[in-house]
Homo-oligomer: A and B are copies of this chain.
Amino acid sequence: MATHAAKHALVYGGAGALGRAVVAHLRTLPHWTVTSVDFAANPDAHRNIALPPLPPNWTAAAESVLAATPGELDAVVCVAGGWVGGHAGDASFVQSVETSVAQSVQSSAVAAHIAAKRLNPNGLVVLTGSQASLSPTPGMIGYGLAKAAVHHLVRSLGAGTSAGLPTGATALGILPVTLDTPMNRKFMPDADFSSWTPLETVAAQVASWAEDPSARPKSGALVEVVTKAGVTAFTPVKE
């Protein structure tokens, strides 16, 4: 196998369940340096950038992360997020929208900006959407609309240089159904785990896209991550 040039990935949300899996996978590839961005440090990363505490000031968060980000990046992976349920009649509805927007849209916007400013040509930016948001989500309206906004961001970034990305860069959205996290096992102990996607499977796919531009779907693609009977398929949504 050919030797690899040194590469650098930034994982936004790198101390969360999926983030730790992505950091861990990239750490198995000796030519990758990994920086984690999160509220807490991930000791497995080479370098950590601490997010300012909530409530978030969007511009301040972007500026502080950008200032702390190493000069050149080959991959920006945003796996920050969270889940909030609720419909429009709930007393906490507007709060649920605000929380979901902060968790998913703010993090994705900052990650997109870092990608635009720091990615090398042919770099990769991956944002995390949700398969559920391809349809109406009446029982989790705030979460659904925030992920729909992330999907639109990915599609816009797919325009490439006119969206502010460097030449040859690829923007992809990953749209999981249910990830097999300790938190989901705790709250849904009776679910069919064979339809949940292992974190390592997602991490390996993202790393593969980061390694090899020719392995990537078309820039701007929203990639459904669907697991059935323990087998996971990554399928770009038809436009």
A94 touches B109 (CB 8 A): yes
Across the A-B interface, the 9 shortest Cβ-Cβ residue pairs = A89-B164, A138-B159, A148-B152, A138-B163, A87-B164, A89-B116, A88-B164, A62-B94, A88-B116
Select A149's contact among B61, B117, B138, B145, beta carbons within 8 Å: B145
Main secondary structure of the interface of A (DSSP, over half): helix
Count residues of chain A with CB under 8 A from any CB of chain B. Answer: 51
User: Is the beta-carbon distance between A94 and B117 smaller than 8 angstroms?
Assistant: no
Enumerate 14 A-B pairs (CB-CB under 8 Å) in ascending A order: A58-B95, A59-B95, A61-B94, A88-B115, A88-B157, A88-B164, A90-B164, A93-B112, A94-B113, A112-B141, A138-B156, A141-B156, A148-B149, A148-B152
- A125-136 contact mask (Cβ, 8 Å, vs B): 1 or 0: 000000001011
Decide if A158 is an interface residue (CB 8 Å cutoff): yes
A70 interface residue (CB < 8 Å to B): no
Which of B61, B95, B110, B162 is the one whose CB lies under 8 Å from A138?
A: B162
